[in-house]
Amino acid sequence: MTIMTSVASDISLGDKGLTLPLGRGPAYFNYHWLRDNCPTSFDRKTRERSFDIFHLEAAPKAKAAHMDADALVIDWAGEDHVTRMPMGWLEAYAYGERRADPADLPRKAWYGDHYPDVARFSHAELTTDKARVKAWLEAMIVEGVAVVTDMPDTDAGLTELAHLMGQVRPTFFGAYFDVRTHINPTNTAYTAAALELHTDTPAEEHAPGIQFLHMRANSVEGGRNLFGDGVAVANALRRQDPDGFRLLAETDIPFFCEHDSYDMRSYQRIIELDRHGEVSGLTISQHMLDLIDLPQTLLDAWYPAFCRFGKMLQDDRYVMRFTLKAGECIVFDNHRIVHGRAAYSATSGERYVRGCYTDRAEMRSTYRALVGEGRFK
């Protein structure tokens, strides 16, 4: 190893990388990483990497390096190129930790008494005030639910709202859906029957992330809306029945959605965990749970856990019950929040809900852009 000492700091150059002192002590950086991420590697207009590391004939290696103000300056061997690597980038990437993400906000579990505290925004303020959009997305990330009031009684009003967060994300039954009683229903939602607590389209390999339900008309008797926080319930199960929790979090089970022209199938876990092992969401739907094709003996343990969890989901402690009024749109995380509906009398009035979905990752992208983070700003 060649040791090169500069006036301002001690940098040691190795064969595959260099070591320099940083705030938390000596830090090692690989030469490929340093060369590939040279600030000149990125096009200022597209903000994409325009440098092609594959074209280098030999592995990158520093000929010399020194500290200069707030940058590490590297003169590369075998190449007429100098890199000025900002100290901020070096500090951020020195220890193999994931890049800080402003959208990685801690989830706040809520319970059946949450309705008065549900974040509320008017359609008009969201379409005119970016700060309110930021607050809306923050509520969606942290609590997974918000209500938008004073919606225009138009199809365009819902599209306009969804576009504040991202693109409308179609499912296999289209970009939008209209929930009212149908003469030949293909889905329990299209009847006046009760809808048990569920997440939508579990039979899709990647079920849509954020759901919008715009109440366009609601003058029927019954049909109260039910919402519960899957994070709160799953965490309670984890405390009360750790083995049951583990089974629901580790076992892939089949979901289906089948009719004349489609036969959608997927395998999902009832409880989803994030990379920290924390509950991040649910996939659950009794009306779309397929015949489980697991060894029957495994079901001796799985089914009791599933039933216990299903009963907990319906407990008053966890379920908000309210009537979404005409002109309101509830927006919620379809991977976290379970929703359902009490039965209603189809002849007592009109009930019409128009809905669509957007993507969770796109919502976080919009949030990051709004809070002003980003490497190129």
Please give the residue ranges that form the binding site for Fe ion (CB under 5 A).
200
Of 74 and 324, nearer to Fe ion (C-beta) is: 324
Q: β-pairing, 82-86 with 71-76?
A: antiparallel
CA 42, 47, 48, 50 torsion-angle sign: negative
What DSSP designation does 174 have? B
Q: Which residue lies nearer to Fe ion by CB, 225 or 251?
A: 225
Cα–Cα dist 342/112, whole Å: 16
Q: How far apart are CA 218 and CA 192, in angstroms?
A: 13
* Smallest distance from Fe ion to CB 205, Å: 18
Q: Is the dihedral of CA 348, 181, 230, 254 positive or negative?
A: positive
Contact in structure between 82 and 76 (CB atoms under 8 Å): yes
Nearer to Fe ion, 143 or 200 (CB): 200
What's the min distance (Å) between Cβ of 227 and Fe ion? 11
Please identify, using beta-carbon distances, which residue of 103 and 197 lies nearer to Fe ion. 197
In the complex, what is the shortest distance from the CB of residue 200 to Fe ion, in angstroms, rounded to a whole number? Answer: 4
Smallest distance from Fe ion to CB 57, Å: 57
Cβ burial, residue 351 (10 Å; 0-12/13-18/19+): buried
Closest approach, Cβ 222 to Fe ion, in A, equals: 17
State how far the Cα of 271 lies from the Cα of 228, in Å rounded to an integer: 14
Nearer to Fe ion, 157 or 202 (CB): 202
In the complex, the smallest distance separating the C-beta of residue 258 from Fe ion, rounded to whole angstroms, is 17
CB atoms within 10 A of CB 259: 10
Residue of this chain nearest to Fe ion (CB atom): 200
In the complex with Fe ion, which residue's Cβ is closer, 179 or 232? 179
151 membership: H or E segment, kind and range: none
